[in-house]
Amino acid sequence: MIVGKKVNDDFSWILSPTVVVSGMSDRYDAGSESFVSSGTAKTQFALGMGFRNKLSSRTSLNMEYIPILNGNGDFYNSFSVGFDVETGGHVFQFDFTNSVGMNESMFITRNTDRWGAAGVRLGFNLHRVFTVVDPSRFQ
């Protein structure tokens, strides 16, 4: 169940309770070239929290924090900060995060980097809407 609210034209928030079931409770250690115990359970419970705040008519600040509720062992909670810039028909998104992977079992429960240790990554997205057929014809 995802709970969210658009408070006004400038601010919205979201809560996302999450369950991630992983097929392994060990992590691969490249130094020893073997799997070692990560101290995490195969089933993890997390609570995703985020918000979007418009800074101007074309820019917004986004944040997301996903703490693990039943212990993360050797791993860290995911924290991300994003900045959106809307231009004419494009939306440019810049994201800074400590998350390693792009699927739930990596960026929620198996995150090996933290902000304090310079484990920050930069991401970039570009969105564009292409109109093939005029939507006013479908009334």
pTM for this model (two decimals): 0.74
Identify residue 78 by its one-letter amino acid code: S
Interval 57-101: pLDDT, tens: 999 999 999 998 887 777 888 899 999 999 988 999 999 998 887
